[in-house]
A and B are shown apart, each in its own frame.
Chain A
Amino acid sequence: MATLEIHDLHVTVETGDSATGAREILKGVDLTVKQGETHAIMGPNGSGKSTLAYSLAGHPKYTITGGTVTLDGEDVLEMSVDERARAGLFLAMQYPVEVPGVSVSNFLRTSATAIRGEAPKLRTWVKEVKAAMEQLSMDTSFAERNVNEGFSGGEKKRHEILQLELLKPKIAILDETDSGLDVDALRVVSEGVNRVREGGEVGTLLITHYTRILRYIKPDFVHVFANGRIAESGGAELADQLEAEGYDKYVKGGATA
């Protein structure tokens, strides 16, 4: 059973200001995500939620200054970005990057080949992609466009979830996948995530600012992220409490701590 274990994770980012130097954003994060579980991480802006997502994926902007991250006992922090992906980590990004000159179909196939360790058989692959795209209400012409180039916000998110469905990771981190989506797009994207979850083989880390997406994707655990660490954990009922009360008490608590 796949398990992602984050223990006492500290992360800094260069501010680009020599006087300030590096600023600590994550201040001791502890979290364990097991296959089949869905964890929602909620918190106010600037609390470090996205930093957690990008640090786990290995973005070069962030420096790990303490703690450990393991996937099935393997040291994730020692791995390069692509090694982490091949080990089974997937990050659906809030702002997916445009890659001019690379078609979606070429990108998906190259990626699937890297993740699966061999090129998928062309015939079954074409069917697989087509079916996944249909389920996400994506037009087939999408495959011929360049990766994220000129995509609308909704198209970018669908494209991220398309990859999630095709790459079948052990651990999926969804960074504010709900942001900027209208209700219809949110439903389509959430259904995609749920299809993957129903397989029972993925552990999901759902990072969000709003409770709206949790109406479609039911979490097993909810964590409140504030001031660079998890301030409180609970079940789905914690989301309802946040919906009613907001983040105020955590933000204030962080400020006085």
Chain B
Amino acid sequence: MAAISNAFVKYFVPRHFRFEALVALRHLSTGGGQTILTVSAVATGVIIVVFITSLIFGLQDMLTEILTDAIPHLTITVEEPEPRTLQQVSGGIEGPASSRIEQQAPKLKFIDNWPQVVETVRSLPNVRAVSAAVSGQVFASKGANTIGVSLIGADPDKQDVISPVTPNLLGGRYLGLASDEIVIDAQLAQDMNVSTGERVRISSGTGASDSFTIAGIYSRGQGPGGAAYVTLRTGQSLLGYGTSVNVVNVKLIDIYNADTVADSIMALLPYEAKSWTREFPEFLTSLQAQSASAYLIAVFSLVASGFAIAAVLIVSVLQKSKQIGILKSMGARGRQVMIIFLLEGFGVAIVGSTLGAILGSLIVYLIGLIERPATTAGQDPERLFPVRFLPLYIGLSMMAAILSTVIASVLPARRAANMNPVDVMR
């Protein structure tokens, strides 16, 4: 061990610091339980940080994925004008007028030039997929059983990227959907007591009605309320949109940058673009609260390990006070003595944080392997702990641990540097 530390000092440490590095390394390599204790304190701090950040950010990812996987990240629709009083309308009538605001009745809002809109949005950065769609409320009936359902008409290839159906199919297919075929939610299938291959009748508010073969049944595990999917052309025909659509859905690469893309779209096109983050602000707030908790736990862990290290190093300085005295009597300067103890802290930090990062990653990996049965029948088992391997956070936690350990060793190092050799050797 001594030979290794000597060789390390000789070949890797500048001549200027060889004395300090030699003594520090020897202290650490012969420190036994004390060295193990300090290294363990740093490693434990890093393990906690790696585990907590992996778990919390993994959980956030899972929640975000659950929310955003099934929904478009951006929806482009015709802007619905806010009702205003007559006084607010420029050039409106003069004289007494009612200030009562009447909510306008829902009406069809057409995006006629949707191919152009799709083309424009597709050319923007951070856009993964764009899909024009029609959506509306219809009635699905089988015999005397009639149930209200949301209908989405879209090109299956594109819709599968926006709100994936195929991965959630319990039976049948979605891709290659024919104009007289429909894919319905498992809950609706259960309520209507139908299965793949059977036919259902779909009637819209415009009076259009047609019979469809159930090509597939899907479940996203989110309970009732799942939409029914038909082709774009069929949807347009059923909901009375002609060749127009009422929504253009967008899927992004970086979902947290949705607001910027939405703003760009609104600057380019006369439509309203709503990002998922603006649709669900509470969700973002809860994510931020979770992140804050993770950071707080990380800080407390590192501070706690920092205190532990400072305590052990102070004891070490006291134990070595006679040695410090003799080094000073031999001509060691206060600065050199301080560097010895700072290097000790640094050595502990490097070894401890590396060990912590390796063990923390291993724990995260092993915990990620634990599974629990799927909540929805037919789906794959889910991970019990939705941990996420985060190299950036592992690196950051290592750096933070190194920093906190070195800071923790400043006090003992200064104490050692200021020791009066006459006092300690008396």
Pair from one complex: no
